[in-house]
């Protein structure tokens, strides 16, 4: 059943994801209403600068309007990425930040209904 969001109204979906292999997440089971896309993935340390790289907990991934923090496995999900190709013809800038790592930005091209995996590998500061 679609969710009707009036102008300015915000809702949060509680989605519990438990991927078996932290390097192979499964996409979310629920889709947002028409006009939205989902971006999900992992944030990990660069293998070039850390002897035993792993997930980065507490990193923030932003798409401009919404953000999500990574869990202990480095997993994040942005559910309500709006299809605004008419405003962003050059794509969405998705950024990943953490105090101990250099910020990373990536550009994605989304349309309504897309579910896209976007992983980040951060370099220590």
Does residue 16 have a pLDDT over 50? no
The span from the CA of 18 to the CA of 37, in Å, is 21
Say if CB 33 and CB 80 are below 8 A apart: no
- What would the pLDDT profile of 30-64 be if each residue is shown by its tens digit? 555 566 788 899 999 998 877 788 999 999 999 87
Burial of 37 (0-12, 13-18, 19+ CB in 10 A): buried
In sequence order, which ranges of 11-86 are alpha helices (DSSP H)? none
Does residue 8 have a pLDDT over 60? no
> Which residue from 98, 72, 80 is spatially nearest to 19, judged by alpha carbons?
72
What are 121's two structure tokens?
Answer: 């590998």
List the domains of the chain with CATH numbers.
36-122 (2.60.40.1120)
The predicted model scores a pTM of 0.70
């Amino acid at each position: 059943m679609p969710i009707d969001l009036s102008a300015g109204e915000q809702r949060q979906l509680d989605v519990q994801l438990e991927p078996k292999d932290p390097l192979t997440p499964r996409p979310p089971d629920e889709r947002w209403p028409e006009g939205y896309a989902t971006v999900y993935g992992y944030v990990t340390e660069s293998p070039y600068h850390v002897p035993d790289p792993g997930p980065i907990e507490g990193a923030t991934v932003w798409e401009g309007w919404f953000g999500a923090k990574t869990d202990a496995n480095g997993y994040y999900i942005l559910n309500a990425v709006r299809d605004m190709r008419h405003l962003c013809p050059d794509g969405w800038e998705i950024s990943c930040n953490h105090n101990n790592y250099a910020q990373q930005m990536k550009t994605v091209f989304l349309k309504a209904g897309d579910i896209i995996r976007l992983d980040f590998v951060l370099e220590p500061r």
